[in-house]
């Protein structure tokens, strides 16, 4: 690929990313409306046709973040493989048969939160080994508590979405896959 | 820093904080004091480097958390949109299936 084409490809990528950001913002506005009107809901369903692109992008970002966290926690290749395997097993356990792309996005969130928690644990253990001041220990403890809390919230989030979607007659089209769920 | 000249002679003092006051502690003069001063300098530099490293770590943590939160916010928006589109609503800060 020539440098001109590369620049053009980067520009297209940026434009697409900006477009997706705008779509996400529009979705958020509708979602945040106290009581969306029928017209707003109809518009939302229309906008949801664009959800595959957003889901794809969010999935890519999640993957990048996950990888970064794994690299941070486990610098040694052997250890990295162990952590990667743990993440894979967790993902398999959480993704029940035929998990929808939306569920997969939420599972990604759980994995990221879990890795962040492990990251905080690892940072605290290493710091304690080296010996740290009370203020620093306090900071690391608070961070650990926050990451555990975030992890639990993501798990609850997935359970809530599963419960709600199982009770609605749903037709969601996310990530090029149409899922019809009947209660 | 720490060196004081009195009656034409140089003396090395260590300064430390004690109960909100700065206290001078006499170390000595001559070569031995010079060595003590150099050792103190090395220790000070090490402490500064540790402080810098800690600040860098805290900043990196903050940036990572912001990144995770930003992504979570977008996933939350998409999830909320999907729930609304599939007939759920959030009347009292809690998602429910809409009746009728």
Which burial class, exposed, middle or buried, applies to A156 when counting CB atoms under 10 A from its CB (0-12, 13-18, 19+)? exposed
> Is B82 in CB contact (< 8 Å) with chain A?
yes
Closest residue by Cα to residue B29 from B51, B16, B13, B48: B13
Give the chain A residue nearest B77 (alpha carbons): A28
> Is A172 in CB contact (< 8 Å) with chain B?
yes
**Count of domains in chain B?**
1
pTM: 0.76
The answer to whether residue A157 sits within a structural domain is: yes
What average pLDDT does this structure show over B76-90? 85
Give the chain B residue nearest A61 (alpha carbons): B71
Which pLDDT value is given to residue A180? 53
ipTM confidence score: 0.75
The DSSP 8-state label assigned to residue B20 in this structure reads: T
The answer to whether residue B91 sits within a structural domain is: no
Residues of B in contact with A36 (CB under 8 A): 84
The answer to whether residue B47 sits within a structural domain is: yes
Give the chain B residue nearest A22 (alpha carbons): B74
Which pLDDT value is given to residue A183? 42
Whether residue B91 has pLDDT greater than 50? yes
The answer to whether residue A60 sits within a structural domain is: no
- Which range marks the domain in which residue A95 is found? 68-181
The answer to whether residue B13 sits within a structural domain is: yes
Q: What CA–CA distance (Å, rounded) separates A50 from A30?
A: 15
Q: Encode pLDDT of B36-56 as tens digits.
A: 999 999 999 999 999 999 999
Answer yes or no: are the C-beta atoms of B89 and B99 closer than 8 Å: no
C-beta atoms of A28 and B86 within 8 A: no
**Count of domains in chain A?**
1
For A165, the closest of B64, B84, B86 (CB atoms) is B86
Which pLDDT value is given to residue A166? 84
The answer to whether residue A22 sits within a structural domain is: no
Which pLDDT value is given to residue A5? 67
Per-residue pLDDT of chain A (183 residues; tens, 9 = 90+): 566 666 666 666 656 666 666 766 766 676 666 667 777 777 777 777 777 777 888 888 899 999 999 998 887 888 888 999 999 999 988 887 677 888 889 999 999 999 999 999 998 998 888 888 899 999 999 999 999 999 999 999 999 999 998 887 555 555 555 555 444
Q: What CA–CA distance (Å, rounded) separates B36 from B48?
A: 18
Q: Which of residues 111-150 of A touch B (CB under 8 A)?
A: 112-113, 116, 123, 136, 139, 143, 150
> Is B97 in CB contact (< 8 Å) with chain A?
yes
CA B69 to chain centre: 21
Interchain CB contacts (distance < 8 Å): A and B:
96
Three-state secondary structure call for residue A181 = strand
């Amino acid at each position: 690929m020539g440098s001109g084409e590369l620049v053009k490809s980067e520009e297209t990528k940026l434009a697409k990313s900006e477009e997706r950001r705008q779509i996400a913002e529009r979705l958020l506005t509708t979602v945040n409306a106290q009581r969306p009107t029928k017209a707003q809901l109809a518009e939302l369903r229309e906008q949801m046709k664009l959800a595959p692109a957003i889901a794809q992008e969010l999935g890519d970002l999640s993957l990048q973040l996950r990888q970064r966290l794994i690299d941070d926690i486990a610098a040694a290749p052997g250890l990295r493989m162990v952590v990667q395997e743990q993440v894979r097993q967790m993902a398999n356990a959480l993704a029940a048969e035929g998990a929808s792309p939306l569920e997969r996005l939420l599972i990604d969130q759980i994995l990221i939160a879990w890795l962040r928690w492990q990251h905080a644990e690892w940072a605290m253990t290493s710091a304690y080994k080296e010996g740290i001041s009370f203020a620093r220990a306090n900071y690391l403890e608070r961070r650990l508590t926050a990451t555990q809390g975030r992890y639990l919230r993501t798990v609850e989030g997935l359970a809530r979405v599963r419960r709600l979607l199982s009770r609605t007659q749903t037709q969601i089209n996310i990530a090029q896959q149409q899922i019809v769920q009947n209660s | 820093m720490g060196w004081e000249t009195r009656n034409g002679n140089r003396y090395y003092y260590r300064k430390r904080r004690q109960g909100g006051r700065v206290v001078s502690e006499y170390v000595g003069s001559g070569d031995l004091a010079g060595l003590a001063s150099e050792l103190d300098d090395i220790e000070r530099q090490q402490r500064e480097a540790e402080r810098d490293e800690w600040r860098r770590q805290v900043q990196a943590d903050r940036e990572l958390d912001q990144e995770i939160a930003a992504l979570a916010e977008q996933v939350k928006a998409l999830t909320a949109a999907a729930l609304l589109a599939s007939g759920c609503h959030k009347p009292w800060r809690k998602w429910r299936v809409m009746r009728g």
